[in-house]
Amino acid sequence: MTNQKIELKYVLYGIVAVCFTWIIHEFVHWLTSESLGYESIMRINGVSPVKGGNPSDMHKVFISASGPIITILQGLIVFMVLWSRNWNKYLYLFLFTAFYMRLLAGFMNFINPNDEGRISAFLGIGTFTLPIIVSGLLFVMVYKISKKHNLNWKFQLWTTLIVMIMSSILILTDQFLGIRIL
């Protein structure tokens, strides 16, 4: 039987999964920007060049792509581990968070293009093409693991709520407090 019990430890792992996913995603944006020679500021939910820094269009593409690439890699690694080994509900949080993060980013393109949306627009393939592909890829991974391990709707609902609430807290904290990490 697959352990799908939701307890405090699972909620705490959910908080860790969301924080880790967001911070590593933004850190890779920051690292890419810095390595291309642009002094940058990293916040909880964003990276921007210091005033006066204006990356070229191609550098903007590289900087935009780096975060989603690491998030996709996170999802892919967790998927492969969960596919080839026994069930681990705590590890599943890292796959689900990667999916949720990119899906949410895809929807945010309606307000302001970000990451995959900016790259899609730059490539002239429509703002939503890459967000749909990336979200779809991560969804397939979540779906296959859910099927393989017979995850029930209650477990999925609680996982979604934990990830959604923690993600919202991170995003709102960044919007209202703008805490600079680097």
Domain ranges of the chain: 8-177
> Given this model, what pLDDT does residue 19 score?
98
Q: Which residues in the chain belong to E strands, given as ranges? A: 40-43, 46-49
3-state secondary structure of 106: helix
The DSSP-derived string for 122-166 is: HHTS-TTHHHHHHHHHHHHHHHHHHHHTT--HHHHHHHHHHHHHH
Q: What is the pLDDT of residue 51?
A: 82
pLDDT in 10s for each residue of the chain, 182 residues: 689 999 999 999 999 999 999 999 999 999 999 999 999 999 999 999 998 778 999 999 999 999 999 999 999 999 999 999 999 999 999 999 999 999 999 999 999 999 999 999 999 999 999 999 999 999 999 999 999 999 999 999 999 999 999 999 999 999 999 889 99
State the pLDDT at residue 2: 82
Residues 6+ apart with CB under 8 A from 171: 44, 45
pLDDT at 94: 98
pLDDT at 1: 60
